[in-house]
Structure 1
């Protein structure tokens, strides 16, 4: 992974072969059951352990895995019909198909209930989809999209949104987007859907309100997964900073590791990392044990670890000095990659809104 991760960043290269290798080893969709090509492990094993370890060396690959596992696999397992699960899941799990989660639009990021992409029903059980999506991870390379579209009046908001599975074909227009971090594998894109035809059999869950429910539940899970990306990224920064401090000398004195301020900085990084790891794994444990309070802890974990990762990456660059500012270091890439963790799967501000609502109104009803 290490040399490929560097190439992904420098060349904006998508490692299709490496994605397939992750699929063969069960790391791409760890929550998928064996009958669909995955190992079928719980959320702690999938969105915590696997994603964290991948992100320790390539935050982008960890980011891809959490989106595919938490957004796509969960939706298919929970809301898909037999044909969808049997036809699509094995292809996604093996890496044969690239799957993408198409929710965000130019009009509305955090306000998902305001999306404008429309799906109009016509005779013969067909739907016609028109609209634009933006900042879609793996959108540039996707073979299939889990797409959310409006199927009722705009004023109905979340009560008129439906989820569809859309295969890529000539009706899909893709424009690559140049991003600050998570380069290569993330494949961020703007997607235009121009009179795309799907059938009733491509609907995921119930028409209208079922789509918004799928989006919200998958985002709750993805907040645990993206917290694990933050953990792995931060651990990679700490690994590099520790090794550097053990060998780097300055002013003719012993290595940096013998300087008290470096010791304190490394200790502080480790302390923050373990706090983040504890709350992230607790959130996953609560979900695995069907405790609805996982929603609260998922938002706490996401809020804390996203901020933590940005701070730790900055500290790592500072410890490494000039080397940390160069593209030769992991910390430089991690610093750019970390910023999206404060934005994706619900911004920091959205997490504070969720936490506040739970404080005021109690836990929401969730499907476990």
Structure 2
């Protein structure tokens, strides 16, 4: 019987690839090759310099791959499955979290908001150019004083006689902000919280870049300043009022993080395995010592459990059955475990683990941001706590 079993594959110990179709594998391999060619040779230098040079060119290339707004349908979007989008996120974050963030914010936040809640005119105006990477988008929700509590945002939109809207306020920690051609900005109105499509060349809009970051350094992060930004009446997203709009966008983006975090974990794990096979101490490779093998085994278990969880959630999303609480489950587990995998990998590499010659510390510091944005650990714990008990403990 054992002779008929497939060989054990250390890269895929659970045989998860058997769950993927030929098209799934083609999407994954295409994105992996692009990242290996266009990101990996340069990412350590970009990270050390705290820059993402050529971001507009990278966006156009990602658009050419169909990776922007990948799971959306129509208006130039690829219409890929949720699993295929997840696989792309995993491969992009295996290169760097900043690259996956570029794609997530573009497709799962800015484009998703316009696609789901926008008018047909807004979709036709923006989505084809965003899908191709011609126009980069950003998503303005978080504020300097209101991160986990967006319901108390201070950014305000008032309606003027004649129908124009005027926006005033600030948004903080906005990926893509300084290079965006369009921003989806959420603001308080007399009707409730509304979303607005804001061309970034509108008078009164500015997006100074945030410097001195020790995480997501190869990513453009900005503040959005809205100082009397005047927009026409049709700039508002017509199909939603209230927090359910931005929160549904965040759920879509969090789903990509469930997959993406496992990419960072995989890169760190594979680095640790390769290092353990070749690094010698006391006359033998350190991979031959029991304590090192215990670390590798534990990392492999958590990594591939996380990929299985992501795959399960992807199938549920494709079937229209994925609930926000289940996305919280995935983000909470996978990002926490990814950080632990990176930290354990660092211990195997010893002092070399802090060097940018290896990706481990870069992934670990990036994941500290991923752990916080689009829902902190505490917020996802409370989402699950409410779902499990029926009691709201947020306040």
Normalising by structure 1, we get a TM-score of 0.91
Change (3 A) 1:66 1:137: same
Change (3 A) 1:350 1:107: same
Counterpart in the other structure of 1:145: 183
**CA–CA distance in structure 2, aligned partners of residues 146 and 211 of structure 1:** 15
Identify the match of residue 204 of structure 1 among 200, 219, 237. 237
Asked whether the 8 Å contact 1:282–1:297 carries over to 2, the reply is: no
Asked whether the 8 Å contact 1:148–1:211 carries over to 2, the reply is: no
Deviation at 1:281, TM superposition (A): 2.2
1:136 aligns with 2:177: no
Counterpart in the other structure of 2:226: 193
Counterpart in the other structure of 1:287: 317
Residue aligned with 2:78, SS: coil
**CA–CA distance in structure 2, aligned partners of residues 334 and 184 of structure 1:** 11
CA deviations 1:72-96 (Å, max 9, x no partner) are 2222221111111111011111111
Counterpart in the other structure of 2:131: 93
Change (3 A) 1:191 1:315: same
Number of equivalent positions: 350
1:43 aligns with 2:78: no
Deviation at 1:2, TM superposition (A): 0.5
1:161 aligns with 2:189: no
**CA–CA distance in structure 1, aligned partners of residues 312 and 293 of structure 2:** 29
Normalising by structure 2, we get a TM-score of 0.85
1:181 aligns with 2:221: no
**CA–CA distance in structure 2, aligned partners of residues 28 and 246 of structure 1:** 38
Deviation at 1:5, TM superposition (A): 2.1
Runs of 4+ residues over 4 Å off in structure 1: none
**CA–CA distance in structure 1, aligned partners of residues 107 and 320 of structure 2:** 18
Identify the match of residue 267 of structure 2 among 225, 236, 239. 236
Asked whether the 8 Å contact 1:118–1:150 carries over to 2, the reply is: yes
* Structure 1 range deviating more: 125-134 or 197-206: 197-206
Change (3 A) 1:4 1:95: farther
Identify the match of residue 357 of structure 2 among 328, 338, 343. 328
Identify the match of residue 56 of structure 2 among 16, 33, 38. 16
Residue aligned with 1:148, SS: strand
Asked whether the 8 Å contact 1:226–1:345 carries over to 2, the reply is: no
Counterpart in the other structure of 2:14: none
**CA–CA distance in structure 1, aligned partners of residues 218 and 284 of structure 2:** 40
Correspondence 1:304-315 to 2 at 5 A = 304-315=333-344
Residue aligned with 2:252, SS: helix
CA deviations 1:154-177 (Å, max 9, x no partner) are xxxxx7100001011241122222
C-alpha RMSD of the superposition: 1.7
**CA–CA distance in structure 2, aligned partners of residues 256 and 246 of structure 1:** 7
